[in-house]
Amino acid sequence: MCAYHSNPTEPSTGKSERQTPMASTLTQFDRIPVAIFATDNDGEIFYTNDRFLQIVDHNSSAVDCCHALADLENLLSTELIRPARQAIEHRTTFESGQFIFAGAGGRYYLLSISLSPLMLDDICYGVFGTLQDFTETADASESLRRRIKELNTIEEISQALHSTMKTDDILRIILTGATCKEGLGFNRAFLFLLNESENCLEGKMAIGPSNAEEAGRIWGEIPPGTRTLSEVLAAYLQNVANHDIEVNRIARSLKIDLSAPTVFRQVMESGHWCNIDSLSEAVIHDTGVLQALNTHRFAVVPLLSRGKSIGVILADNLITGKQTENNTVHLLQIFADHAASAIENARLFEEIEVKAASLEKANLKLEQVQKQIAAIEKSSLMAEITYKIAHELRNPITIIGGFAALLNRNLNPADKLSEYGRIIVEETLRVEKALAEVLNFSKSFALDRVRCDLWEIVAATIDVLEQTHSPVTIELDPDDGKSPLYVRVNRDQTVQSLHDIIEAVGSCLPDSTPIRLRLGNSETAQRIELHWQIEPEAHERVTSLLAEMLDTRATGSSLRLTLAFETVRYNGGEPGLAASAAQDKYLFIEYPAMEE
């Protein structure tokens, strides 16, 4: 077997001289997409097809580029001669592993070569070789691998976004995903949101270093061993998010006017991303914001929600200066789409939270009102029943008392029956009095509470006292300016109860002792005070008399004070006894102040 090397001293001979009987058979492979070549038993290449020439980047036949297997071995930098000999001698097929071949023009190929004995009728004519091109498959695999990584990244971001309803956390997740190496790997990312009322974009947040040192510090705080994007996001949110990094401060200070024709307005209006890659382009679009960010190569993507732009993300590689590929910007757009959706959901959630809190408050108030209504209805019904019963009882009481009095008049006073008659008359009158007091209490029970001025109520009460020729003397402390003291009460009930209280107090005091009425207020309550001036030793007696009045086992007049106090409480007030600075006792009635 001759050498498999071409002899450069030998003049190249024409192809026809080297043609073997196989050559014509091999012509069927001329156009197939697999690179084919054939050598004779001496290692001389006598056949190549078009694909082979394409790969080795030559327009002519093998004789002009590779005369012998040795030439091919040199060209491909892959051992071929020994395997070819083995294939011929042992009638075996050799397959190489994949190797990279740098073709002319800088094109790289991923190839593998196989050598088989070229047999015909059991005669070996040489070696049949195929050059398999895996370049496209490898490219496709790489592309697929990258795509899978992108999808995984999107999936992780999406999951992270779904884990929170807080707008700030959502913004941090998006920007971290854009900047960490497990994500898109931008150096910096800035997020701007639309302020519709001012027609501008407001900087909300940014992530990324101002310089390489800060870059090391920021990402150095992520614990080692965190590999997935989810882990990085979690670690970032925990460790770094609280640091007020410089870019964040810059971002929050920025406002982009959308009335100016800038790249930001263009992106917002068109809904399409923009990849600015040159200074000149950046200068055209500069609004001063780019100066503040110190960047002229950046990508801007819109945040689109329901077909409308709600903001933009600006990302750049200021620190590394790495060029941003459109593919990466496209991925950033996918991030932004997720972000916009999450931001809108978070805003909606926050709105719902506020409304829910407001509804909760309203619900509590409604519950209170319902309870009050139920109480009023119950009281109203009771009042109605009481009212009817009281009136129905009046007739029989009139009859009983009347006949008892008649009987008494016709009896001898010394007669025991006369005493019985007198008792019947007295007790009948007592029942009648109690009925009258109950009727006074119940008749206005079901009426509404309205805003009333305590000054007006006091004036009305004094009128009633005068009209009924009450023996009680009233003095009213003047109020400077007489500012209204608003409360929410039933006016008639309040006048009635105040009237009854004044009468009750008056009945305990020595004759002609005036009662001084004083009105005042605190932050939360309005107050009527009843003061009287008596000898110190008489105070205790008056107090105990009032206390007795509240004892329902006492005489008929006690019902009046008890009912009056109950009326005050029913209207939300509280009566009580207090002592002044000079230790004089006085009675007060306090109502919750009503907001104006």
Partner 1 sequence: MSATIMCVDDELNLLRLYEQVLAEDGFRVVSARSGAEALGKIHAQPIDLVVLDIKMDNKDGLDVLREMKMENPDLPVILHSAYSTYKSDFKSWLAVDYLVKSADLTLLRARIRELLGVDD
* Binding region for partner 1 (CB under 8 A): 391-392, 394-395, 397-406, 409, 425, 428-429, 432, 439, 443
Min separation Cβ 556 and partner 1, Å: 13
DSSP track, 315-338 = EE-TTT-PPPPHHHHHHHHHHHHH
Contacts of 378 (CB under 8 A, 6+ apart): none
- List, as own/partner pairs, every contact residues 116-124 make where C-beta atoms lie below 8 angstroms and the sequence separation is at least 24, other chains included: 116/87, 117/87, 117/88, 117/91, 117/92, 117/93, 118/22, 118/38, 119/91, 120/21, 120/22, 120/25, 124/41, 124/88, 124/91
Q: Which residue has the tokens 């309040």?
A: 494
- Measuring CA to CA, which residue among 177, 198, 199 is closest to residue 186? 177
Min separation Cβ 409 and partner 1, Å: 8
Min separation Cβ 389 and partner 1, Å: 11
Of residues 240 and 559, the one with the C-beta less far from partner 1: 559
Min separation Cβ 502 and partner 1, Å: 21
Ramachandran assignment for 517, one of left (phi > 0), alpha (psi -120 to 50 degrees), beta (any other) = beta
Give the C-alpha distances (Å, rounded to integers) separating 285 from 288, 290, 318, 406: 9, 9, 18, 112
Give the containing element (helix H, strand E) for 446. Answer: none
Of residues 64 and 419, the one with the C-beta less far from partner 1: 419
Min separation Cβ 425 and partner 1, Å: 7
Whole-angstrom Cα Rg for the chain: 52
Residue 477, both tokens: 């402390």
Min separation Cβ 383 and partner 1, Å: 13
Min separation Cβ 397 and partner 1, Å: 5
Of residues 216 and 402, the one with the C-beta less far from partner 1: 402
Of residues 230 and 444, the one with the C-beta less far from partner 1: 444
CB atoms closer than 10 angstroms to residue 418: 16
DSSP 509: S
CA 496 from chain centre, in angstroms, equals 54
Give the C-alpha distances (Å, rounded to integers) separating 158 from 46, 167, 177, 273, 309: 60, 14, 10, 20, 20
Pairing of strands 45-48, 274-276: unpaired
Contacts of 272 (CB under 8 A, 6+ apart): 302
Of residues 41 and 440, the one with the C-beta less far from partner 1: 440
Residue 57, both tokens: 């980047």
Min separation Cβ 513 and partner 1, Å: 30
Using a 10 angstrom Cβ sphere, with 0-12 exposed, 13-18 middle and 19 or more buried, the burial of residue 530 is: buried
Of residues 433 and 531, the one with the C-beta less far from partner 1: 433
Helix axes 229-239, 135-162, angle to 10 degrees: 40
Of residues 7 and 398, the one with the C-beta less far from partner 1: 398
Per-residue H/E/C for 368-403: HHHHHHHHHHHHHHHHHHHHHHHHHHHHHHHHHHHH
Of residues 124 and 393, the one with the C-beta less far from partner 1: 393
Distance CA 36, CA 114 (A): 10
Of residues 124 and 439, the one with the C-beta less far from partner 1: 439
Of residues 410 and 522, the one with the C-beta less far from partner 1: 410
Min separation Cβ 403 and partner 1, Å: 6
Of residues 319 and 405, the one with the C-beta less far from partner 1: 405
Min separation Cβ 444 and partner 1, Å: 11
Min separation Cβ 436 and partner 1, Å: 8
